[in-house]
Amino acid sequence: MEEFANTPPPPYYAVIFTSKRKEGDKGYREMAERMMELAAQQPGFLGVESARDQTGITVSYWKDLESIKQWKENANHREAQRLGHKAWYSAFKTRICKVEREYSMTS
Amino acid sequence: MEEFANTPPPPYYAVIFTSKRKEGDKGYREMAERMMELAAQQPGFLGVESARDQTGITVSYWKDLESIKQWKENANHREAQRLGHKAWYSAFKTRICKVEREYSMTS
């Protein structure tokens, strides 16, 4: 990722996905990349930021709740969610948020 | 961090802090730990989740906007913010969000 997600002025929406991985790749990396590419093509997608050490945090940004719902129900994404439950994550938490304010610094 | 932040049922608030570090520690790690401890003592603090690779993402959770404001204005925290601007971060972005919904899985 080059820089931060280039989101518009608030309000817009964020999906905070926090996860713990199980041991072993089991197709995870490839699927994660495919899902990033696919998400970026969805209507209302605004950007994504991601980091992982012991915990993984991926925050995706969306125009509205409807675009989040559409992406959640996307068939390829549903298959990834199913594998996520079964093979990749020991635990995760998803939070849907409305971004109300922001500020930034770039040197 | 043992598990995810043990937040109550929504609504509550999240502060998504995304950052790029400059080279070198320059007191960063010590200050980051102190700020985590101090934040945890603030009224309205609900928990924190953090991960870093090329990008750092720290999400802190709060009862309401007032508790976020109080923490932003805390004197020790203001000093850390000043050093963050000057010494530690090449860029950062802070987003204040209202968490509206959540779901989770633990195996």
Averaged pLDDT, B32-38 = 94
User: What pLDDT sits at residue B62?
Assistant: 98
pLDDT at B2 over 60: no
With residue B39 as reference, give the H or E element that holds it.
helix B28-40
> Least CA distance to A53: which residue of chain B?
B51
User: What pLDDT sits at residue A107?
Assistant: 57
User: What pLDDT sits at residue A65?
Assistant: 96
Q: What mean pLDDT value characterizes chain A?
A: 93
B58-94 pLDDT per residue, tens: 999 999 999 999 999 999 999 999 999 899 999 999 9
Judging contacts by C-beta atoms under 8 Å, the chain A residues touching residue B55 are 1, 4, 49-51
Judging contacts by C-beta atoms under 8 Å, the chain A residues touching residue B62 are none
User: What pLDDT sits at residue B106?
Assistant: 76
| Residue A79 · residue B83 · CB < 8 Å | no
> Least CA distance to B93: which residue of chain A?
A104
A81-101 pLDDT per residue, tens: 999 989 999 999 999 999 999
Q: pTM of this prediction?
A: 0.93
Burial of B98 (0-12, 13-18, 19+ CB in 10 A): middle
CA separation for the pair B64, B44 (Å, rounded): 7
> Least CA distance to B82: which residue of chain A?
A105
User: What pLDDT sits at residue A1?
Assistant: 42
Averaged pLDDT, A52-69 = 96
pLDDT at A3 over 80: no
A51 and B53 within 8 Å at the Cβ level: the answer is yes
CA separation for the pair B41, B21 (Å, rounded): 26
CA separation for the pair A84, A19 (Å, rounded): 10
Q: Which residues of B, range 46-105, sit inside 8 Å of A by Cβ?
A: 49-57, 59, 85, 89-105
Averaged pLDDT, B28-41 = 94
User: What pLDDT sits at residue B1?
Assistant: 42
- Smallest CA–CA distance, residue A51 to chain B, in Å, is 5
Q: What is the CA radius of gyration of chain B?
A: 14
Q: Which of B90, B99, B103 sits opposite A97 (nearest CB)?
A: B99
User: What pLDDT sits at residue B107?
Assistant: 57
pLDDT at A36 over 60: yes
Residue ranges and CATH numbers for the domains of chain A are 25-99 (3.30.70.100)
Structure tokens at B73: 């204005």
